């Protein structure tokens, strides 16, 4: 017999999630960014819940779930964070491939 993973979400829970997400995304109420917190999060990235299958907030809002909303005061802060992470990864990649003797072109290292 197949194990069915059925998870019900109440209408009130769904409405609460939508309301919290709208408040978090409100373009008329963007708080100041905490630079120190942003630096800390870049050094120690948050990870999403291990139990995403049973997290109603994650099921309804994806990567903008309650866990993320508790770390970032506003959606714009989260978007900035994701851009900074991307830049950090790209910078690390370019630094890695720019090191002498680390090129993939074999003719260059002869």
Q: Are 38 and 44 in contact (CB under 8 A)?
A: no
Instruction: Count Cα atoms within 13 angstroms, Cβ side, for 51.
Output: 6
Tens of pLDDT, residue by residue, the chain (110 residues): 555 566 688 999 999 999 999 999 999 999 999 999 999 999 999 887 777 778 899 999 999 999 999 999 999 999 999 999 999 999 988 888 887 765 555 555 54
pTM: 0.77
């Amino acid at each position: 017999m197949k194990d069915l993973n059925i998870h019900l979400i109440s209408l009130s829970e769904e409405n609460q999630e939508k309301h919290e997400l709208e408040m978090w995304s409100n373009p008329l109420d963007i708080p100041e960014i905490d630079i120190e917190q942003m630096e800390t999060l870049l050094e120690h990235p948050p990870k999403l819940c291990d139990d995403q299958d049973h997290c109603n907030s994650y099921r309804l809002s994806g990567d903008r779930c309650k866990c993320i909303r508790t770390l970032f005061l506003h959606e714009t802060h989260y978007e900035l964070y994701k851009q900074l992470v991307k830049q950090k990864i790209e910078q690390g990649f370019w630094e890695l491939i720019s090191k002498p003797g680390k090129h993939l072109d074999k003719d260059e290292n002869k």
